[in-house]
Amino acid sequence: MTGGGVMNRRRFLEALAAVGVVVACGPTATPSPSPSSAGVSPAPKPVSIEWWRRNYAAGTQSAETITSDAAVKAYKDRAANVTIAIQGGPFGAETDQKFDIAILQQHAGPDVFHTTGGDVLKYAAAGQLSQPTLTDAERNDFNPSALKATTYKGTVVAYPLWIVPWFEYINLDLFKEAGVTPPANGNWTYDEFLAAAKKLTFKRADGKQIYGFAHANDEFAFMLIDGGRPYDTSIKTWTFNSADAVSGLEKWVALAQQKVMPPDFLTLNPNDSQARFIAGEVAILQRPSAMINVLNADAKWKFGTNWDIANFPKAKGDQTAWGGVGFIAVREQSDADKKAAAHAFAKYLTGPDIGPDLKKQTPPVEYWLAPAGRKSAAGIYGDYHPAKAKVATMGAFTYVLPNVSTWSEIDQKYLRPARDAALEGKKTPKQALDEVAPQAQKLLDEANK
């Protein structure tokens, strides 16, 4: 019993030290301690943590590698006692499995890690996530959709990092050629959008076919346009066969019927669709914000001259654009020092200080790969490029899919085939979505068990 008491005191002191680390290193509202002021307090205990980052490969020039190395370097200036080792792995099933085996089976591996979608729920359900402590100010600062997406059984279980808003890239040269006026301030209704897409679908004298609109095969944005949502607000009932979802799909089907999309639109993967836009074959392309960097890297694409950005077309619904969301999570573990250091670093990665810190580096590093996760971080994103300043305000337009662990199965096995059947005209939108509903509900029930 006495031994237990000693242990408890030690734990308490360890926790106290960890809180000290958080306070000393925390990037929150209070300014960070300057090196000189840090010198007067006792030197914090050295801590080593491991950060697992998908697509990180030491020594390469991938965006994830550059930003991660820069983040670690910048954080070292704020918390010299924390040593961070980064482990990478390519995007894909292989790395997902590595995460699952380490976190779920071995209860080991990363102290802090990037995660997305249903993985957050999976790890939270297994009790493997250490909950962040967010102040009210921080909660209000995060995008509400993102915060909701990282909530498990009423508790926020990870730090929202980014939201990827989808919007429309428009080829201004093709608009000019077809005599179509771009949407004022990037806003248009569905009817205006459809009319523009029809005019922008034409064959040149040399036989080259131009298509008004294209998107990749990995999204369902149009089904949200009239307010349709996959689930009810409690995420218990499948609602993607509601009248609003059906009318959204009907609007999507209309684009196929009007033949404003390339004939292979059902198999256009993201890279293909981008390539078609860059080749000048597509006038309006629906893609996420990351494509801004792709266009900026190409000298012949000048923002405002050759291309611009428009919002997702508006109909009855408010949030109309489908968006992805990513998180930074901290793994639950008994080592209080590591856990506290991991939380402090996770807060830094998702907070407003990292952007300016990385911008100060030589050469400056752009941290925010995607905007709209957090209001206080949107400004720095907009500083990098006028197109980014424009999309930084588009987060409110974005619907973030609530996390459901069985979503990928619902999506790939049932919803996409149903969508394809409707777009091909083999089934009516209502018939296609009604047929999917029982299977989707079954998988939703399974996720809620």
Partner 1 sequence: MSATAASRRRRSFAAVLRRYGWSYIFVLPTFSLFVVFTLLPVVQGLVLSLQNARVTGGEFIGLANFETLAADPVFIQAVGNTILYATVVVAAQITLALVVASLIQPLGPRAHVFYRALFYLPLVNSAILVAMVWRWIFNANPYGLANTALGTVGLGPYLWIGSSDQALIAVILSAVLTIPGGGVVLYSAAMGSLPRELYEAADLDGASWFSKWRHITVPLLRPTTLYLVVIYTILAFQLFERVYIMTNGGGPNNATITIVQLIYSTAFQFGRYGLASAMAVVLFGMALVVAVVQFRSLRSDVEY
Q: Which residues bind partner 1 (CB under 8 A)?
A: 93-94, 96-97, 100-101, 104-105, 122, 126, 209, 217, 262-267, 269, 406, 408-409, 412-414, 417, 420-421, 424, 426
As given in the structure block, the two tokens for residue 231 are 């689930």
- Preceding peptide of 110 cis, ω within 30°: no
The span from the CA of 386 to the CA of 361, in Å, is 21
Which H or E element spans position 16?
helix 2-25
CA atoms within 13 A on the CB side of 329: 31
State in angstroms the smallest separation of the CB of 395 from partner 1: 28
State in angstroms the smallest separation of the CB of 156 from partner 1: 23
Amino acid at 260: V
Q: Token match 């089934």: residue?
A: 427
Contact indicator for 213, 276 with CB cutoff of 8 Å:
no
96 or 335: CB nearest partner 1? 96
State in angstroms the smallest separation of the CB of 418 from partner 1: 8
214 or 342: CB nearest partner 1? 214
341 or 422: CB nearest partner 1? 422
144 or 425: CB nearest partner 1? 425
Contact indicator for 165, 395 with CB cutoff of 8 Å:
yes
Radius of gyration (C-alpha) of the chain in whole angstroms: 24
Q: Token match 């080829």: residue?
A: 171
350 or 406: CB nearest partner 1? 406
State in angstroms the smallest separation of the CB of 97 from partner 1: 7
> What single DSSP character describes residue 260?
-
Contact indicator for 99, 52 with CB cutoff of 8 Å:
yes
| 355-to-71, 257, 358, 400 alpha-carbon distances in Å | 9, 45, 5, 23
424 or 445: CB nearest partner 1? 424
Provide the strand spans (E) within 321-401: 321-330, 398-400
State in angstroms the smallest separation of the CB of 199 from partner 1: 21
State in angstroms the smallest separation of the CB of 171 from partner 1: 18
As given in the structure block, the two tokens for residue 273 are 């669709």
Strands 47-52 and 209-215: unpaired
93 or 205: CB nearest partner 1? 93
State in angstroms the smallest separation of the CB of 52 from partner 1: 16
Q: Is 128 helix (H, G, I), strand (E, B) or coil?
A: coil
Q: Is 166 helix (H, G, I), strand (E, B) or coil?
A: strand
Q: What is the largest CA-CA distance in the chain?
A: 91
Contact indicator for 251, 226 with CB cutoff of 8 Å:
yes
